[in-house]
Amino acid sequence: MGLEDEITEVDSGELYSDVTDADEEPGDPLVDESAPEPKVLFVDDEHHILKAVRRLFVDRDFELLTAESGEEALEIVKANPIAVLVSDQRMPGISGTELLDFVRKNNPNTIRIMLTGNNDISTALEAINRGAVFRFVTKPWSHDDFLHTIDLALEQYHLRESKDRNERRIAAQNKELQQLNDKLRDFNEQLEDRVQERTKEVVAKKKEVARLYGELQQSFDGVIKALLCIMELGEIHVVEHCQRTAERVRRFGEHLGIDAELNRELERAALLHWIGLINASAPLFRKPIEEFDAVETATWEFHPLLGQQALRHVPALHDVGRFILYYLHRYDDRDFQPGAPFSGASAEEMDEEFIRGCQILGICSAFEQVKTSRQGATTGDSESRSWVQEGLRVISEGSGGRFDPDLVRRFKDWVGRKLESTRGRQVVISFDELESGMVLARPLETEQGIPVAPRDMIITEELIERLERFRDSNGLKEIHVWE
């Protein structure tokens, strides 16, 4: 047993080699800062080995203890909390395996390391079976590897100690929680009678809340309808354009598969997005934007702000107002991008979903604006298709500039399929058969010949309500829709 004869007390920086698992990196141990300095005990019956160990581990962050026999080591272990025990195997009296086995049974958190010769396989097996060692250090060893192994052992010790501390803390907390649960159970027993007394009152309040919520929804819808009625006092084409755009937005949003709540907000925004134009002159609605004079251009550019300002006092229309305020902003405006604060709006408000919604509203409104500019003209089937083609041209020319190219492509595909579907025949339906989404194939008039809805207008719920009033008062002529 022992080192080679030529090993002396000189510095042996290259003397030792082969530490198992030497390539592992120590982590950051969960050290209890209030705990005393950990103790590391080295046991070997050769005095010069212990002196070499003391020299090797000088100025380390632990207290180094040494013993020259298993008996001496037992006394130290019984008197001190040992973090790491490094023991030679072959010693007079108590062997290293016996010492490690004792420590495993009585101090399980102590990390155990065996010093053994290169060829002592039987010792290794016995240490594994009895002492459950953490590592083997073979003689001779490498200083760097030995230091690394002790660091790993200390880390393992701190982890075990931390685990024990946490388990003790959890046990204390569980005990405290049990006490609190006992108190809570007593309280709940006292509370049960009071809860039963309040149940009827809560149920009654719940019904009242449901009633008030229903009234709130009705009031909200009423505000929308009231604003539409106000808009009808101005240029009639404003309302018609907004209703067509709202239906276009709703159906395009459904085609895109966007969130239902967002689609409802966009539809509401579309119904009111021209509220800032109710006092605009009629000629403005009968020409493309490129032909506006200076006054008309100013009116057009200012109307989103007027619309948003008109709605800002209605909290429920806050998001609707935001869509109206920004729906004309261009796709190629690098400041108008998701996640970037813009013109008073926070970065959180300018998310991708909101900007995409503005683009959807802008595309649908620009498309319908082509038809609005032709309102009042007599249109046959070919003329009707002409405005659709013109609208698609306007949208295409804006791709990449005014509009998102991907949305433009999907809008053109969608409208193209719808255009193909309208090449079927016209059919006459009764008023009761009218449904949202149908398209008028001929202008709709009262029995007295008063026009109430133009050709190619998309049927909406609001339009059906208005037509019902005309039917009840003046009657309606035949209703022709595209099959």
Closest by CA position to 88, among listed 145, 3, 18: 3
Q: How confident is the model at residue 334 (pLDDT cuts 50, 70, 90)?
A: confident
Residue 16 has pLDDT above 50, yes or no: no
Calculate what percentage of the chain has a pLDDT beyond 70.
82
Q: Tell me what the mean pLDDT of segment 280-294 comes to.
A: 84
Q: Tell me what the mean pLDDT of segment 132-143 comes to.
A: 83
Calculate what percentage of the chain has a pLDDT beyond 90.
28
Residue partners of 159: CB distance under 8 A and separation at least 6: 29, 30
SS (H, E, C) the chain: CCCCCCCCCCCCCCCCCCECCCCCCCCCCCCCCCCCCCEEEEECCCHHHHHHHHHHCCCCCCEEEEECCHHHHHHHHHHCCCCEEEEECCCCCCCHHHHHHHHHHHCCCCEEEEEEECCCHHHHHHHHHHHCCCEEEEECCCHHHHHHHHHHHHHHHHHHHHHHHHHHHHHHHHHHHHHHHHHHHHHHHHHHHHHHHHHHHHHHHHHHHHHHHHHHHHHHHHHHHHHHHHHHCCCHHHHHHHHHHHHHHHHHHHHHCCCHHHHHHHHHHHHHCCHHHCCCCHHHHHCCHHHCCHHHHHHHHHHHHHHHHHHCCCHHHHHHHHHHHHCCCCCCCCCCCCCCCECCECCCCCCHHHHHHHHHHHHHHHHHHHHHCCCCCCCCHHHHHHHHHHHHHHHHHCECCCECHHHHHHHHHHHHHHHHHCCCCEEEECHHHCCCCCEECCCEEECCCCEEECCCCECCHHHHHHHHHHHHHCCECCEEEEC
Q: How confident is the model at residue 27 (pLDDT cuts 50, 70, 90)?
A: very low
Residue 322 has pLDDT above 80, yes or no: yes
| Higher-pLDDT residue of 33, 396 | 396
| Higher-pLDDT residue of 149, 210 | 149
What pLDDT does residue 269 have? 92
Mean pLDDT, all residues of the chain: 81
Q: How confident is the model at residue 280 (pLDDT cuts 50, 70, 90)?
A: confident
What pLDDT does residue 232 have? 66
What pLDDT does residue 318 have? 87
pTM of the model: 0.49
What pLDDT does residue 357 have? 93
Residue 62 has pLDDT above 70, yes or no: yes
What pLDDT does residue 120 have? 63
Residue 257 has pLDDT above 80, yes or no: yes
Q: Tell me what the mean pLDDT of segment 456-475 comes to.
A: 80
The CATH topology of domain 425-483 is Molybdopterin biosynthesis moea protein, domain 2 (3.90.105)
The CATH topology of domain 1-204 is Rossmann fold (3.40.50)
| Higher-pLDDT residue of 13, 421 | 421
Residue 254 has pLDDT above 90, yes or no: yes
Residue 166 has pLDDT above 70, yes or no: yes
Q: How confident is the model at residue 324 (pLDDT cuts 50, 70, 90)?
A: very high
What pLDDT does residue 325 have? 92
Pick the CATH number of 233-423 from 3.40.1160.10, 1.10.3720.10, 3.40.50.720, 1.10.3210.10: 1.10.3210.10
What pLDDT does residue 462 have? 78
What pLDDT does residue 432 have? 85
Domain boundaries, the chain: 1-204, 233-423, 425-483
Q: How confident is the model at residue 344 (pLDDT cuts 50, 70, 90)?
A: low
